[in-house]
Chain A
Amino acid sequence: MITRRTVAERLPDRWRTGLVSVIQFLLPFLVIGLAWELAVRSGLITSSSLPAPSTILAKVWALSVREGVLWRHLTRSLYRLSVGYALAMGSGLLFGTLLAMNRILREMFSPILSLLISVPTIAWVPVFLITMGLGDRTVIAAVFLGGFFAITYNTIRGIEMVDVSRIRAARTMGARGLHLFASVLLPGSSVSVITGLRLGIGYSWRALVGGEMLSAMVQWGIGKMIYQARFWNDVTVMFVGLITIGVTGFLLDRLLIRWLERVTIERWGMVAER
């Protein structure tokens, strides 16, 4: 008996599942992109208000490979993001831990935290522009503030939820203070802390784009690129900016946060592996 096998069936299993997930990932993009392309080409949408995907991709190519300005915008943005986010991470973890460990501090500061968390980060930027100037510092402050609350809150929650038996076990064996924190409280709260880091990097990234748009002395940055495109009515560049923001945010999550999850909480069996 002769059985016919498709190309896909002849591939090794690992390749096949890899191929399937790549197709699953790309298919929605392809479908939407194609519909969009057709809508623009058929004149359903005017290309001056919404350029076709092919136009945008050509522009991405031009700005990145040919002219290189996209990289310069992106690296400036990533620099501000890393400084602001590192500050948010350090202080959020520290502050969150202090509040989780000390009831008096928590009662003193949690009203202020609840009050501040409802203020959109972008609303602070005009204030920062006056106090910190029109340059990098304002943008970094916005990035910091964007990430700080999510990291702080999730650190508090994470430490509060560390299994009391584990703390007791560690204390019985002589762990105290900083060592108790580093060896039990921090890893014990990592599921929640990583959620905070993930939300935090998203909020920081958004705050960055807003901050760059509002800071007059900032010349380079993805947010600035979009903002400047407004003066030339260049919708295509705006879309290049939007796509860059989306893709970079996605990559930050996949490369940093997913990596962190894989080497910690998934390895330790604290969450199901994905």
Chain B
Amino acid sequence: MTDNIIQIHGVSKLFGKGDREVVALRDVDLQFREGEFAVLIGPSGCGKSTMLYLIAGFESPSSGQILLNGKEIRRPGPDRGFVFQDYALFPWKSVLGNVMFGLRRNGVPHREAKATAMRFIQMVHLQGFEHAFPHTLSGGMKQRVGIARALAYDPKVLLMDEPFGALDAQTRKLMQQEMVSIWEEAKKTVVFVTHSVIEAVYLGDRIVVMTARPGSVKGMVNVDVPRPRKYTEEHYLHIREEVLALLEEEVAKSVKNLVEKDRRRDPDVTPA
């Protein structure tokens, strides 16, 4: 059989009805290999987050099929972990309570759940903060909790939706470095959505570039650079250029679409 843990076959996703209908994704075929770090990148509004929501089971495809380990995805479930851009922590639970949530929900006894949660809290370097409430933490620390929470109950796949998008540049860089070691330690399949080429090439084994709306797969770039990667390496910079070239065409297209949409709404606006 195949070692593709996620298989996406001919998936389209439509939002709205009639005149307001928007095709977010069109005929996407995509596979993710067990254990790989895959990055989805594309211009804003290209449906990369929608793709992730479909895998998570938050939305269902309008047509086509998504299989996880050969079984069709119908709803969210603990075989997946999700890391949100806005963290989505439970403010009424401590750091420990947040990280224990998935374990307790899946029948792990309290004592054991606590021990496991503490291990993951250590992995994201938050020991000493386990009894803190989320609102007392900085953005970077909150997202560490988000990552620990999504990994603690041992899902097969980790889905990350622009997880570092809300962080400042310094914290973001640090989190990217830590993400690499977390991934190496946790040995999970990761599907990571970003719009940053630098982030994509630094993190991913494979980068899936998506087209402007309606979103589909534009191309793929393998990043065959050993980790830890250096931002200055020549081969690495070459790959970055490759991704950038693919992406820029699509960004130009999506900007053009936006301008045309504006013009239809307001005929006086001339395109730039």
Interface residues, chain A, with chain B CB atoms under 8 Å away = 163, 165-166, 168-175, 179, 183-184, 187-188, 190, 264, 267-270
Contact = CB atoms under 8 A, between A and B. Distances in A.
B150 to A, nearest CB: 8
Nearest to B56: A172
Interface in B203-223: none
Contact of A173 (B57, B89, B102, B134): B102
Contacts of A187: 90, 92
A173 B133 contact: no
A158 to B, nearest CB: 13
Q: Is the interface of A mostly helix, strand, loop or mixed?
A: helix
A168 B134 contact: no
A268 B89 CA distance: 11
Top 3 nearest A-B pairs (CB, nearest first) are A269-B135, A165-B88, A173-B102
B192 interface: no
B58 A269 contact: no
B139 interface: no
14 contacts: A165-B86, A166-B88, A168-B56, A168-B76, A169-B84, A169-B88, A169-B149, A171-B76, A172-B76, A172-B78, A172-B82, A173-B101, A187-B90, A269-B91
B92 A173 contact: no
Given A172-B81, A175-B105, 8 more contacts: A169-B84, A171-B75, A171-B76, A173-B102, A173-B105, A173-B153, A268-B135, A269-B134
B138 interface: no
A166 B90 contact: yes
B156 to A, nearest CB: 12
B77 interface: yes
A183 B149 CA distance: 15
Which range holds the interface residue count of chain B?
A: 20 to 34
Contacts of B232: none
Nearest to A184: B90
Given A173-B101, A173-B153, A268 B76 contact: no
Q: Is the interface of B mostly helix, strand, loop or mixed?
A: loop
Given A168-B58, A169-B82, A172-B80, A268 B92 contact: yes
A175 to B, nearest CB: 6
B59 to A, nearest CB: 10
- Among B77, B78, B81, B90, the one with the most A-chain Cβ atoms within 10 Å of its Cβ is B90
Contacts of A270: 91-92, 135
A35 B203 CA distance: 74
B16 to A, nearest CB: 18
Contacts of A190: 92
A171 B77 CA distance: 7
A166 B75 CA distance: 16
A267 B134 CA distance: 10
- Among A172, A173, A174, A183, the one with the most B-chain Cβ atoms within 10 Å of its Cβ is A172
Contacts of B78: 172-174
Interface string B91-103: 1100000000110
B170 interface: no
A264 B93 CA distance: 10
A168 B91 contact: no
Contacts of A173: 78, 101-102, 105-106, 149, 153
Contacts of B106: 173-174
B2 interface: no
A88 B57 CA distance: 37
B191 to A, nearest CB: 14
B34 to A, nearest CB: 20
B270 interface: no
A171 B73 CA distance: 14
Contacts of A179: 105
B88 A163 contact: yes
Contact of A269 (B56, B77, B88, B136): B136
A268 B58 contact: no
A199 B75 CA distance: 38
B91 A268 contact: yes
A187 to B, nearest CB: 4
Given A169-B82, A173-B153, A267 B133 contact: yes
Contact of B92 (A163, A168, A264): A264
Contacts of A168: 56, 58, 76, 82, 84, 88
- Among B88, B89, B149, the one with the most A-chain Cβ atoms within 10 Å of its Cβ is B88
Contacts of B84: 165, 168-169
A270 B135 CA distance: 8
Interface in B154-192: none
Nearest to B83: A169
Contacts of A175: 101, 105
B91 A174 contact: no
Contacts of A165: 84, 86, 88
Given A172-B82, A175-B105, A269 B133 contact: yes
Contacts of B102: 172-174
Nearest to A167: B88
